[in-house]
Every structure is written in structure tokens, then in C-alpha cells.
Amino acid sequence: MQGRLAHFAQPWALHARTFRGSQMTQLRGKGTGLEVVLAGQPFDEALAELADRLGQRPQFYRGSEATAVFDVAEPDPEDVARLGLLLDEHGIALRGLAVCGPVADALEARREKRAKREVTLSDSARSLVADFAGARSDIAQRRRKGEPSVPRVDFRRKPEPTAEAPALRVVEAAPQTLYHQGTLRGGQSLHQVGSIVIVGDVNPGAELVASGDIVVFGRLAGTAHAGAQGDAAARIYALDLCPTQLRIATCIAADSTQRGNSEPEVAAVRENRIVIVSYRQAHTLEEEAVR
């Protein structure tokens, strides 16, 4: 019993129900249960009067539930406990507490004020609300039709052939050799389907891209990409090979070590790595390739 009363020792205002007009101790049936009104007089008197009223018909209320109505927002927990005990003696369970009188009016006023506060939505929020509403109705429709709420795409099924697509004809540029005389400076680049021959230096920051070989009759200090369309047999030749970066087909090499000797060198791909050999030993590359 005590435990159950402890349940009521909560903010009463939450359970508050409101009554208007003067109230005396009353016991009346309402809705699903009884309503015990203890207002307009000291609690002890009211409790005595209630005990009297209940005593007149000891068995009548047995098994019913009651709501106690006070005229204060927060009744003394001890009073509530005594009331609960009294009702329990007569087989009535105390289900809740309510409030009446001026306190109730104040609560009502506060609630009205709260209700009056208008919620305004920003444009974006309104559109979001509309979006959600639309999505909800969409999902509801799908559910009614027995479809899954999230559409599933069957990837295994091949797309049905649509109207005949215009044929794209790839015109292959015939491989040609680009001959460039002069220094290629930082920021400049040459792209060529075929091979590139440079007579001059290729400075850092310059870029050479060829689908075939690259030959630099000078210093190659920039970036060179030979076999750019996947030809791993492509080579890069230079009188002085000190590139920022070398690429042949899909292999990449960056050699930052400064070599003092500047003799003609060749870069080629061996075992998926770029190797650089002196041009005088270039025939070893051929021999390896034969083996």
C-alpha cells in the first residue's frame, strides 16, 4: 500500500483535473470510477465526513477505483496516505489525484495560455513537413498495394533494349612522331599519339605524354609518360635522364638521387618495374626480352 501511494508522490499538477464552483466533501460516481472531493474544509474534517459516508454503505463501493480531488496543487503526502488507507479499508483503490478551486483555475489559465502559443514554421520546415507527408502517403499507398515500401531494383535483370542508340564511331588517330626543337619549360606539355622526339631540354614542371616512345636529345628533368595507352614495351631515351617522374604504361618511378655522370640512358619496364640502364648497355634489355 505504501508503495502504491509513493507512486502518487509525484508532481500533482500533472494529474490535475479541474473543477469549478465551491466544493464540499463529495463522493460521486463518474465515468469509470468514483470521484472523492475533499475541498472547502480542513482535510481532517473532510476525511472524517468521508469515513462517515463510506461507513453508511460499507460494501457498496468495494472493488471500485477512485480519484481524489483536492483544492491544493500539492497535497500533503501524509494526507494522501491516510486517504488511501481509508479507501482501502472499504475496498476502493486510489487511482489518481486531481485538483479544484482557485488552484485549478490558475492551472487552467496557464494551460490556456500555453495552447494559445502559435507554432510558426519556417518555409524550409514547412516544405520538409510537406515532403514527409508526401513520403508517408507514398509509402502507405505502396503498402496498400502490397509492394515493399522501399523499391528494390533487380540488378540481375538486364535492361530492356531501348530505341537504337546512335552508333559512336571511334576514329583512331594514326600514330605519328612529334618532333619538337627547343626547350620545354615548366608548365608546358606535349601530348602525342605516337612517339615524341625533343631536341632540347625538358625542364622540371614540363610534361611529355606519348603513346609510344619518348626521345629527348638533351636533359630530361620534367615528367615523361611513354606508352600512355598501355604499351609496356615503350621506352624513354635521354642524353641526361634526371626526371621528376617517369611513367611507362602503368608503372611509375620517381628518382630523386642526383647522378653526377650524364651519359645517355634508357628507361624501360622489366618485371613490372621501371629500370634505367646506360644507353651503351641497352642491348641487354633486348637480350632479356628474348629470353
Partner 1 sequence: MFDLVEVVEGRCQLRQALIKDKRFGDCLSILPAAQTRDKDAVTPEQFSSVVAQAAEQCDFVLVDCPAGIEGGFRNAIAGVGEAIVVTTPEVSAIRDADRVIGKLVERALPIRLIINRLRPEMVRTQDMLSVDDVCEILSAELLGVIPDDEEIIDMTNRGEPIALNPSMRLATIYDKIARRLEGELVPFTSFDSPGFFGRLFGALKAG
Instruction: Please give the residue ranges that form the binding site for partner 1 (CB under 8 A).
Output: 182-183, 185-188, 200-201, 203-205
- DSSP letter for 210, please: E
Q: Which is nearer to partner 1, 64 or 188 (CB)?
A: 188
Which helix H or strand E contains 192, and what residues bound it? strand 189-192
The least distance separating partner 1 from the CB of residue 215, rounded to whole angstroms, comes to 19
Task: Give whole-number Cα distances, 160 to 157, 163, 164, 168, 253, in Å.
Answer: 9, 10, 11, 20, 46
Q: Which is nearer to partner 1, 124 or 258 (CB)?
A: 258
Q: What end-to-end distance do the CA atoms of the chain give, in Å?
A: 99
Longest dimension (CA), the chain: 127
The least distance separating partner 1 from the CB of residue 259, rounded to whole angstroms, comes to 16
Closest CA to 275 of 246, 250, 239: 246
The least distance separating partner 1 from the CB of residue 199, rounded to whole angstroms, comes to 12
The least distance separating partner 1 from the CB of residue 211, rounded to whole angstroms, comes to 24
Q: Which is nearer to partner 1, 99 or 224 (CB)?
A: 224
The least distance separating partner 1 from the CB of residue 207, rounded to whole angstroms, comes to 12
Helix 43-56 to helix 77-89 angle (10° resolution) is: 10
Q: Which is nearer to partner 1, 71 or 240 (CB)?
A: 240
Q: Which three cell numbers stand for residue 132?
A: 514527409
Q: Which is nearer to partner 1, 18 or 188 (CB)?
A: 188
The least distance separating partner 1 from the CB of residue 237, rounded to whole angstroms, comes to 20
How buried is 39 (Cβ within 10 angstroms: 0-12 exposed, 13-18 middle, 19+ buried)? buried
Closest CA to 13 of 72, 68, 65, 67: 72
Q: Which is nearer to partner 1, 175 or 187 (CB)?
A: 187
Q: Which is nearer to partner 1, 194 or 205 (CB)?
A: 205
- DSSP letter for 271, please: T
Closest CA to 97 of 115, 122, 78, 75: 75
The least distance separating partner 1 from the CB of residue 285, rounded to whole angstroms, comes to 30
